[in-house]
Each structure stands twice: as structure tokens, then as C-alpha cells.
């Protein structure tokens, strides 16, 4: 199994966390998460993963409450979608999160 994990600093208070595991050329686990720094602590804002054996997106508000959205995607497609969505929409997600809304 081949695993990769990295952090990408997007802005001074915003970063993307990326993890995936590949086995025999296929994604078997992944997680892509947008995080915002509040009072020296990194908080999750949006997370895509397959932790419950299905692809989903977790959205968090500033109080830590979350909502789960099930996505009907294969792991490979979901990983690409998650990376692109966070790259394209991080500013909107961060602004909504900081206002206390769900991204």
C-alpha cells in the first residue's frame, strides 16, 4: 500500500489537508479537508472522506456542529472532486464558517 499525506497552506489562516492510500493502483482510502486557524487552533471547515465506507462531505460551523452529505461517487472521482472543490471554493467556505454558517 502506498500512502500520501500533505498540508498545503492556502492563506495565513487557511490550509488544505490531503491524505490518500493506494493499493494495486486504486484509491482505497482518502480524506481532503479545509481547515481554518482560530485562536491558535486549526478547525475543520469542510471534509471529504470515505470513513464510513461511503463517500461523503462533512460541513462544520464555527461551533463544531456538523452535517453530512452523502455523495454518489467512486473513491477516485471523489478525491479529484474534493481537491478541486476546496481549491476553487475555499474563500467562500472560510467566510461562511467565520460567520457561523455551514459552508
Over residues 52-63, the pLDDT tens digits come to: 899 999 999 999
Domain that holds residue 16: 2-98
**What is the number of structural domains in the chain?**
1
Confirm whether 103 is domain-assigned. no
Q: pLDDT band at 83, cuts 50/70/90?
A: very high
- Note the helical H segments in 47-102: 75-98
State the pLDDT at residue 67. 96
Which whole number is the average pLDDT over 35-61? 96
Confirm whether 17 is domain-assigned. yes
Confirm whether 70 is domain-assigned. yes
Q: pLDDT band at 51, cuts 50/70/90?
A: very high
Confirm whether 14 is domain-assigned. yes
Question: Of 38, 88, 86, whose CA–CA distance to 58 is shortest?
Answer: 86
pTM: 0.95
State the pLDDT at residue 47. 98
Which whole number is the average pLDDT over 2-24? 97
Confirm whether 56 is domain-assigned. yes
Amino acid at each position: 500500500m502506498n500512502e500520501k499525506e500533505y498540508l498545503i497552506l492556502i492563506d495565513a489562516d487557511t490550509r488544505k489537508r490531503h491524505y490518500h492510500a493506494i493499493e494495486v493502483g486504486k484509491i482505497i482510502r482518502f480524506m481532503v479537508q479545509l481547515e481554518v486557524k482560530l485562536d491558535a487552533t486549526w478547525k475543520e471547515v469542510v471534509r471529504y472522506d470515505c470513513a464510513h465506507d461511503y463517500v461523503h462531505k462533512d460541513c462544520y460551523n464555527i461551533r463544531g456542529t456538523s452535517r453530512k452529505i452523502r455523495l454518489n461517487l467512486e473513491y477516485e472521482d471523489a478525491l479529484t472532486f474534493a481537491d478541486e472543490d476546496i481549491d476553487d471554493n475555499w474563500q467562500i467556505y472560510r467566510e461562511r464558517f467565520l460567520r457561523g454558517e455551514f459552508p
